[in-house]
A and B are shown apart, each in its own frame.
Chain A
Amino acid sequence: DADVTQTPRNRITKTGKRIMLECSQTKGHDRMYWYRQDPGLGLRLIYYSFDVKDINKGEISDGYSVSRQAQAKFSLSLESAIPNQTALYFCATSDPTPLNEQFFGPGTRLTVL
């Protein structure tokens, strides 16, 4: 079984709809992250959480919100989706070490029409 899972894997939605992407992990890590990947732009950080009571904005948090329901669960919401939020979204986890090696989920491909 995968250590970091994301649901759904693919989603097509319309402009203005609310959508939630979910991430679960069995690695027992405290730290969790949400990134988006766009062609030519690499991985950009949206939000991150170092424990259940900790939420921090990343580089591109506008238009997104998150919820850390438990150590193992971290969800990303788009309150009112817009077409330029069409992207690949990745969840990741890590231990609090200096190396900060992160373990990524398989990704969610989101298309906003």
Chain B
Amino acid sequence: QQQVKQSPQSLIVQKGGIPIINCAYENTAFDYFPWYQQFPGKGPALLIAIRPDVSEKKEGRFTISFNKSAKQFSLHIMDSQPGDSATYFCAADSASKIIFGSGTRLSIRP
């Protein structure tokens, strides 16, 4: 049973485009929603996070949109760059556990 569903599995975007990664959850006990970025051979690192009482959060070129009633949230990357090519994971935090989505492999073409 996958508690956090993430799509798409892979995504190719031209430089300057706006990739969008979507996630959905079922457990209403989740109360913190981070996104992690992972480069090949490295561990994931926190990119941006949001709490359910906020509908949008921006940090630089990265934006999280959150729809509490639909139990969905998404990551947008503005003015994407080749250096943004990585695997992105959404996650949901409930009590002590962090549950991750299945990941999206993003490639930004020059």
- A complexed with B: no
